Amino acid sequence: MVAKILNHSIFKNVVNFKAGLILLLTVTLSYGQSVKDNTNVVTVLMAKALIDVQNGKTVVNPVLYIRNGKIEKIGTGLPIPDGAKIINLSDKYILPGLIDAHTHLCHEYYGELERVSGANIIIETVKLTEGDRALLGAKYAREMLMSGYTSVRDLGNSGMNSAVALRDAINKGWIIGPRLFVTTRALSPIGGQFSKMTPEVQNVIISKEYIEINSIDDARKAVRQAIYDGADCIKIIVNNGRLVLSEEELTAIVDEAKRAGLKVAAHATNGDGPSLLAIKAGVSSIEHGYTLSSEVLQLMAEKNIYLVPTDAQGVERYQKRIQRAVAAKVKIAFGSDLYYYNASITRGQMAASSYGTYKEAGMTNLQILQSATMHPGDLLAGEGKIGLLLNGYFADIIAVEENPLDNIRTLEKVVFVMKEGEIIK
């Protein structure tokens, strides 16, 4: 009798489990179908004009079909499909989402701490946990996106892996932010970018921000570690004061990175020497390069190496370098390199106001637009993905009140932001 009761109970449990499983599968399939149906719905975006940043043209009354996060079709007078979601920006100018090729989202300095040399970097490294820095990055990522920056490259000074965590959180939809291309710790000469410290402190602190390179083996190992940690690209500090990585070390870094399909960004200052070493090694971009000569810039143009200026306003020698770069036909990718706290303006607003530096140097509005969209788009993601409004590209779109070909400062007041087909603002 007991056996019969047990068997009957087991049978009922099996039946109930199967029924529950069938119900779960039905709901899952139905949900999956509804999701698929929703993603197949076309979004139709209409605007007053589209700025063709590649050719410097203004296309009047454009109509864009957007599906599954990408631009499907662009034209004028296109019909509106049944059931389409309509976005009417008929009084606005649209252009590709802005791109910042040199940011530090998990990094924040304070002006008052500059009274003591090196205080900012030590305090940041010691006091902030990886979680603190990732959350700080979340704040600045949101500010960048709300100002129209749909993609950014974060080049370190983010602790061990805070920027990687930030990127992953954005990709999972936990928080909003630009599409992130991140490095892990920068590869550098001994000491990184820290001021002189006692040996005991060096051993504890420097490795939190930099991987120190002292041999070719160190160089290869560091790149492999960065790849394992989740880097999208590699950042190298070619020189820090009198310490300069060797050509052999730089070549090893680039070789290892290219084997994994990653590009290398080279922080290079102090004249032509460090940049020449990086160029010979085959890097993809020179960061800063404040006073590069025409000869070096010409070599960069021949090798399709990008210049990412991060200039303060009003510095004549920086402006002359921009003029030489334009004359040499070097591709310029905008980089804000902002990391100082400012209570009166957001990080994104500060970045957008930086285009005035390029204007002061004599760049045309079209050249500035290209440096803010198509050039960094190619540098960060390769061709055919971001930085232009063309069929097959991600639907990263911003809108402004005025034609930026006439007034570049209109980029400081972005009124509409779409990232990958989703309206953000």
HEC string of the chain? CHHHHHHHHHHHHHHHHHHHHHHHHHHHHHHHHHHHHHHCCCEEEEEEEEEECCCCEEEECEEEEEECCEEEEEEECCCCCCCCEEEEEEEEEEEECEEEEEECCCCCECHHHHHCCCHHHHHHHHHCCHHHHHHHHHHHHHHHHHCCEEEEEECCCCCCCHHHHHHHHHHCCCCCCCEEEECCCEEECCCCCCCCCCHHHHHHHHHHCEEECCCHHHHHHHHHHHHHHCCCEEEEECEECCEECCHHHHHHHHHHHHHCCCEEEEEECCCCHHHHHHHHHCCCEEEECCCCCHHHHHHHHHCCCEEECCCCCCCHHHHHHHHHHHHCCCCECCCCCCCECCCCCCHHHHHHHCHHHHHHCCCCHHHHHHHHCHHHHHHHHCCCCCCCCCCCCECCEEEECCCCCCCHHHHHCCCEEEECCEECC
pLDDT in tens, 155-169: 999 999 999 999 999
Residue 151 lies in a domain: yes
Q: Are residues 90 and 106 in the same domain?
A: no
CATH of the domain at 272: 3.20.20.140
Q: Are residues 88 and 148 in the same domain?
A: no
Query: What predicted TM-score, i.e. pTM, was given to this entire model?
Result: 0.90
Residue 185 lies in a domain: yes
Q: Are residues 325 and 414 in the same domain?
A: no
CATH of the domain at 82: 2.30.40.10
pLDDT in tens, 211-252: 999 999 999 999 999 999 999 999 999 999 899 999 999 999
pLDDT of 25 strictly over 90: no
Residue 293 lies in a domain: yes
Q: Are residues 212 and 279 in the same domain?
A: yes
Q: Are residues 306 and 357 in the same domain?
A: yes
Q: Are residues 234 and 188 in the same domain?
A: yes
Residue 157 lies in a domain: yes
Residue 81 lies in a domain: yes
Residue 194 lies in a domain: yes
Q: Are residues 373 and 409 in the same domain?
A: no
Residue 172 lies in a domain: yes
Split at pLDDT 50, 70, 90, the class of 38 is low
Q: Which domain holds residue 207?
A: 98-386
pLDDT of 108 strictly over 80: yes
pLDDT in tens, 54-98: 999 999 999 999 999 999 999 998 999 999 999 999 999 999 999
Residue 175 lies in a domain: yes
% residues pLDDT > 90 (the chain)? 85
**Lowest mean pLDDT, pick from 12-26, 191-205, 234-248, 328-342:** 12-26
Q: Are residues 243 and 335 in the same domain?
A: yes
Q: Are residues 91 and 161 in the same domain?
A: no
Q: Are residues 262 and 379 in the same domain?
A: yes
Total domain count for the chain? 2
Q: Are residues 310 and 360 in the same domain?
A: yes
Task: Please report the pLDDT score of residue 39 as a whole number.
Answer: 59
Q: Are residues 76 and 200 in the same domain?
A: no
